[in-house]
Amino acid sequence: MIDNRKPSHTDIIDAVLDVKHDLGKYIRMPMVMLPEDAGEAEVRAAVLAALQRTRSGPRGDRSAREIWAGFRGEVAAVLEGGPAFDALALAVDRALAWEARAAGGAAIERGAVEADLAAVGARIQELLDEVSLG
């Protein structure tokens, strides 16, 4: 956990690696595990699981929103406004928007959801590449 001082380069890389694992990897899992012929109810349940129970561990479930908020709180002061961070923020916003659609009963296009969830991991990797060079 990063304290109130300006995070060091190592702190930032560690935070990005953590979010890559906790958000980038696990946000996709429920959708990846679905069979190709899954029905709408199964897809909707997988979307909600992906976003509401993104990471499970000994301390319980953490949602994508919670993981993102924690990460943002750790690194925003240093990374916000940079192109890779801002691209990641947009990708996360797009992914999180599926929660309301799925919960509200709106039509869910599986391919679009999968693309938006995968984009989170791709943008995290781009951020990692950027901060690793710094």
Question: Tens digit of pLDDT per residue, the chain (134 long)?
Answer: 445 578 899 999 999 999 999 999 999 999 999 999 999 999 999 999 999 999 988 889 999 999 999 999 999 999 999 999 999 999 999 999 999 999 998 889 999 999 999 999 999 999 999 999 86
Answer yes or no: are the C-beta atoms of 66 and 53 closer than 8 Å.
no
Cα-trace Rg, the chain: 15
Number of domains in the chain: 1
Q: Is residue 3 part of a domain?
A: no
Q: Is residue 52 part of a domain?
A: yes
Q: Report the alpha-carbon distance of residue 134 to residue 129 in Å, rounded.
A: 9
User: Which residues, other chains included, contact 79 with Cβ-Cβ below 8 Å and sequence gap of 6+?
Assistant: 12, 85, 127, 131
pLDDT of residue 1: 47
pLDDT of residue 40: 94
Residue-range definition of the domain harbouring residue 61: 9-133
Where helices occur in the chain by DSSP H, the ranges are 9-19, 29-32, 40-52, 64-79, 83-104, 110-133
pLDDT of residue 2: 44
Here the tokens at position 34 are: 């679905």
pLDDT of residue 4: 59
Q: Is residue 36 part of a domain?
A: yes
pLDDT of residue 38: 96
pLDDT of residue 58: 87
pLDDT of residue 21: 96
